[in-house]
Chain A
Amino acid sequence: MSGVRVLVGTRKGAFILTSDGKRQKWDVSGPHFAGWEIYHMKGSPASPNRIYASQTSGWFGQIIQRSDDGGKTWIQPGTPPGEPTTGPGGMPKGESNKFVYDTSAETGKPLTTHQWYDGTQHPWEFKRVWHLEPSLSEPEVVYAGVEDAAIFRSKDGGKSWQELSGLRGHGTGPKWQPGAGGMCLHTIVVDPRNPRRIVIAISAAGAFRTDDGGKTWKPINKGLHSQYIPNPTAEIGHCVHHIAMSRKRPNTLFMQKHWDVMRSDDGGDNWKEVSGNLPTDFGFVIDVHTHEPETIYVVPIKSDGEHFPPDGKLRVYRSRTGGNEWEALTKGLPQKDCYVNVLRDAMAVDSLDKCGIYFGTTGGQVYCSADAGDNWTPIVHGLPAVLSVEVQTLS
């Protein structure tokens, strides 16, 4: 019997929502890590009961949690129960929470400053993990996108983390500048055909790609046009909000930029706008139907100054033509007095035959459509503000 497990990160804890393949009746567990911000949780495609979670706090910093039983129990990978609490030198463990920017001679001492809001140079300061991306094939391998923007990799199930410093050090880093939400690396997309090809996105630096497993990186922002930066077509400086890849056609990428919905058919080398008839092309989330590579979803948000749906109507927009032609999906969604936001990592799709679409709101609702967006029902509607939604399809 197939089923789904929806992983929800919120401002005050994590929640796990499970259902069978019909996706009508749900069990809700949580809050896990009550009181902590859970920026992101994601399961390992290679070992689905393994789930990684980013637990964070402005007071207490970053914690990485891992479950190996589908979210029933959790450990910090650096301090598993039953093992000695100190390492060989007598120093306490706890390495799984340690994200230190690479300044080693071996990897080229990547630069140590970026541009601050006022244009001055500012040192990189680790703040939190925004996104965890488990390897598609190796349960022990997981990537972390962090603020201030950098990508780390663990090859031991989250016990220890090493920066892939070629990204920060490739040359444009001193020009990177934070967006309103901080200078965060929030999107990591791994090519299912070639795990050495990884696309990432940073607010507000833009999109970047590696083709050699993270050693070297290049900006992939050609075709983006951002009116709010001095050179609207600059190589970097674009506020990319999210990128989604078609699993069936990995060279096709879709992007929700600050303003503009974009697509690329060459792995990000070139982009073209596909906002078409959207009521507004500002937004955060974007995702692709699992089985139909030209069917995509966005949630239009009124503007960068007004982070809520236009006219108080929560509408998902679907294009079956890969963009440009969009239809509003409203059945089951509030069409009056709704002023929530849907944040960049808060939409996901399952891989059941009838593709399920999920998204969470800052008002604490998590919606599910079990029919590719035609009809929506709230799974829960009183959670803390939702930061992220991921879904696992279980066989």
Chain B
Amino acid sequence: MTAVPSGKIRVILPPHLRGLAHVKGEVLLQVAGTPSVRSVLDALEAAYPMLRGTIRDHVTQQRRPFLRFFACEEDLSHESPDTPLPEAVVSGKEPLLILGAIAGG
């Protein structure tokens, strides 16, 4: 892969959401403060407001039940959304993956 600009977080969206956001490949996000799932999603929704409500509920901010968050081969879905992301994600070495929790449909 090409070099990641310093301070940017890599996010891989599921195909349906890439289409909705009109992006191809990974999304690179500048995240304020300590990167966590919450702050990454805040930055993602600010850059791509059409994704608001598609990953977490508009009001409760709860993760939608059929989506999961992974990074560095770890499932982060049940961590607190404020837990700092792994250093490999912060450094841009690894992406944060947002995945559909079940196949088919």
The contact of A85 among B46, B54, B105, by CB within 8 Å, is: B46
The contact of A94 among B15, B17, B50, B66, by CB within 8 Å, is: B50
Q: A60-B16, A100-B58 are contacts. A86–B49 as well, Cβ < 8 Å?
A: yes
A-facing residues in B45-103 (Cβ within 8 Å): 45-55, 58-59, 64, 66-67, 100-101
Q: Are A76 and B50 in contact (CB under 8 A)?
A: yes
Note all chain B residues with C-beta closer than 8 A to A34.
19
Q: Are B16 and A62 in contact (CB under 8 A)?
A: no
Q: Are A60 and B19 in contact (CB under 8 A)?
A: no
Of all chain A residues, the one with the shortest Cβ separation from B54 is: A60
Question: Is the C-beta of B5 less than 8 angstroms from some C-beta in chain A?
Answer: no
The contact of A57 among B16, B50, B101, by CB within 8 Å, is: B16
Closest chain B CB from A67 CB (angstroms): 15
Q: A58-B66, A61-B64 are contacts. A97–B47 as well, Cβ < 8 Å?
A: no
Closest chain B CB from A84 CB (angstroms): 9
Note all chain B residues with C-beta closer than 8 A to A60.
14, 16-17, 20, 54-55, 64, 67
Q: Are A92 and B16 in contact (CB under 8 A)?
A: no
Q: A59-B100, A63-B20, A100-B58 are contacts. A94–B49 as well, Cβ < 8 Å?
A: yes
Of all chain A residues, the one with the shortest Cβ separation from B55 is: A60
Q: Mark A52-92, 1 if CB is under 8 A from B, else 0.
A: 00000111111100000000000010110000011000101
Task: Give 10 CB contacts A-B under 8 Å.
Answer: A36-B16, A58-B66, A60-B16, A60-B54, A61-B64, A63-B54, A92-B45, A92-B52, A98-B59, A100-B58
- A residues within 8 Å of B by Cβ? 34-36, 57-63, 76, 78-79, 85-86, 90, 92-94, 97-98, 100
Q: Are A86 and B53 in contact (CB under 8 A)?
A: no
Note all chain B residues with C-beta closer than 8 A to A57.
16, 105
Known A57-B105, A86-B46, A93-B49; 4 more pairs at CB < 8 Å: A35-B16, A59-B64, A60-B64, A61-B64
A-facing residues in B8-65 (Cβ within 8 Å): 14-17, 19-20, 45-55, 58-59, 64
Q: Are B20 and A58 in contact (CB under 8 A)?
A: no
Of all chain B residues, the one with the shortest Cβ separation from A12 is: B105
| Complex-state Cα separation, A35 to B19, whole angstroms | 10
Closest chain A CB from B92 CB (angstroms): 23
Q: A35-B16, A58-B66, A60-B16 are contacts. A85–B58 as well, Cβ < 8 Å?
A: no
Note all chain A residues with C-beta closer than 8 A to B52.
92-94, 97-98
Q: Are A58 and B105 in contact (CB under 8 A)?
A: yes
Closest chain B CB from A37 CB (angstroms): 9
